[in-house]
A and B are shown apart, each in its own frame.
Chain A
Amino acid sequence: AQSVSQHNHHVILSEAASLELGCNYSYGGTVNLFWYVQYPGQHLQLLLKYFSGDPLVKGIKGFEAEFIKSKFSFNLRKPSVQWSDTAEYFCAVNVNTGFQKLVFGTGTRLLVSP
């Protein structure tokens, strides 16, 4: 079965620090990759997605992610975080054709201190 690993469970950063959250998946075939964010008390929102093409994907709010097929990774980055980026971040993978059956990682809680 496919699995998604997010190795950082909790991350604490100061404002303006750079962010990189790791995401690795276990599947050797074609994948669709996603990063979702959940702000406190809110529902999941899509940050960015990769289906094909340029492996460097830019999303909303200054986030980007790089798909490295050889490393089975899709790490999320942001050059300079803000207090408003405090949230939980989920990496997800779909390997299904047709309807997406998303497999989520366990999430990373990011706390940005002002």
Chain B
Amino acid sequence: NAGVTQTPKFQVLKTGQSMTLQCAQDMNHEYMSWYRQDPGMGLRLIHYSVGAGITDQGEVPNGYNVSRSTTEDFPLRLLSAAPSQTSVYFCASSYDFGGEETQYFGPGTRLLVL
């Protein structure tokens, strides 16, 4: 299993540009989520999905869209990039096993918005 994969690893955008961060998992996990990691702030939940076709907002959803058309993929779209979206983005997947759920994180995408 490749686990959770993310592309690209690095990206530089200009303010106002749009882009999609890709996330895929091959573990057949029902849950997927996106976090951003900023210095001194830990990780914060952007959006999450509990299954194909079902998404919801996390703590910091503004400026981001998601969709979940398949179990495997959970792309994150930046509609109009802003410098405040400069961050490291982590995708995670998880499943509920007997009431215990563990999230597995991808390698991250480093995004710089100029």
Contact = CB atoms under 8 A, between A and B. Distances in A.
Contact of B106 (A36, A43, A106): A43
A99 B48 contact: yes
Given A43-B90, A106-B40, A107-B42, A100 B103 contact: yes
B-side binding surface: helix, strand, loop or mixed? Answer: strand
A74 to B, nearest CB: 15
A42 B31 CA distance: 22
Question: For the side of the interface on B, what is the size category?
Answer: 20 to 34
Contacts of B44: 104
Given A98-B50, A101-B58, A49 B102 contact: yes
B97 to A, nearest CB: 11
Nearest to B102: A46
Nearest to A49: B102
Contacts of B59: 101
B110 to A, nearest CB: 11
B107 interface: yes
List the 9 closest A-B pairs by CB distance, nearest first. Answer: A104-B42, A44-B105, A104-B43, A43-B107, A106-B42, A43-B105, A51-B100, A99-B50, A100-B101
Contacts of A106: 40-42
B76 to A, nearest CB: 16
B45 interface: yes
A101 B48 contact: yes
B51 to A, nearest CB: 10
Nearest to B58: A101
A49 B101 CA distance: 10
A85 to B, nearest CB: 19
B53 interface: no
A102 B100 contact: no
Contacts of A101: 45, 48, 58-59
